[in-house]
A and B are shown apart, each in its own frame.
Chain A
Amino acid sequence: LAKTTQPISMDSYEGQEVNITCSHNNIATNDYITWYQQFPSQGPRFIIQGYKTKVTNEVASLFIPADRKSSTLSLPRVSLSDTAVYYCLVGYNFNKFYFGSGTKLNVKP
């Protein structure tokens, strides 16, 4: 199982772009990279998933370099409501996905 490493916390201001990087040096060929967001007192919520290069949806972008040993979640123009914990997960068989420590993002006014 690929272990992930993320910064414990990050601060940002409203309107800024936030990039959260996750390291997964022993990612396997079949593994996908998935990011989740968790607000206090709620269950995690799926944000985005990718395998290689770049993936974009309505809320975020995911950048994955060619060696796939890291990935970066990009949140454009964050607001106060984006204050949450963000988890990077790596795996191919979903019932064997494990949550790492996550990154606590604090967005300031």
Chain B
Amino acid sequence: SAVISQKPSRDICQRGTSLTIQCQVDSQVTMMFWYRQQPGQSLTLIATANQGSEATYESGFVIDKFPISRPNLTFSTLTVSNMSPEDSSIYLCSVEDEDSHYEQYFGPGTRLTVT
């Protein structure tokens, strides 16, 4: 299994600003994923990030709003740009199990509040 850490664990930001969330994995992984979970709701996949290529975004999410970096096989960042109160959510990163390919390990999440 993989151990994932995220920074920051939570933040309160003003509208119009940007926040970069870091995701660190304790092993090298090919695929990393970013999810958003709004209060009391299920998880929504934002994008898939492979090292060495541009992230693939799901419908409703665009690179200008959620730029993603994947500089190496253990690290990724998600930036939430030009924030509004509607961006208040928990943002989670996850990685695919390299052996089974059917299991994902999730980080603890970053709780973002935009005022």
Contact = CB atoms under 8 A, between A and B. Distances in A.
Nearest to B103: A46
Which of B4, B42, B111 has the most chain A CB within a 10 Å cutoff? B42
B104 interface: yes
A43 B102 contact: no
Interface string B90-115: 00101010001111111111010000
Interface residues of B, number: 24
B108 A95 contact: no
Interface stretch (A16-24, A52-60, A70-78, A98-106): A98-106
B84 interface: no
A32 B42 contact: no
A18 B96 CA distance: 29
Contact of B106 (A43, A94, A98): A43
A94 B101 contact: yes
A97 B56 CA distance: 14
**Chain A interface main SS type:** loop
A86 B31 CA distance: 24
| Interface of B (DSSP majority class) | strand
A101 B38 CA distance: 12
Nearest to A47: B103
A46 B2 CA distance: 12
B109 A43 contact: yes
Contacts of A34: 102-103
> Which of A87, A95, A99, A101 has its CB near the most chain B CB atoms (within 10 A)?
A95
Interface of A: 32, 34, 41-46, 49, 87, 94-95, 97-102
26 contacts: A32-B102, A34-B102, A41-B108, A42-B108, A42-B109, A43-B4, A43-B106, A44-B43, A44-B104, A46-B103, A49-B102, A87-B43, A94-B31, A94-B96, A94-B101, A94-B103, A94-B104, A95-B31, A95-B48, A95-B56, A95-B96, A97-B104, A99-B35, A99-B44, A100-B42, A101-B42
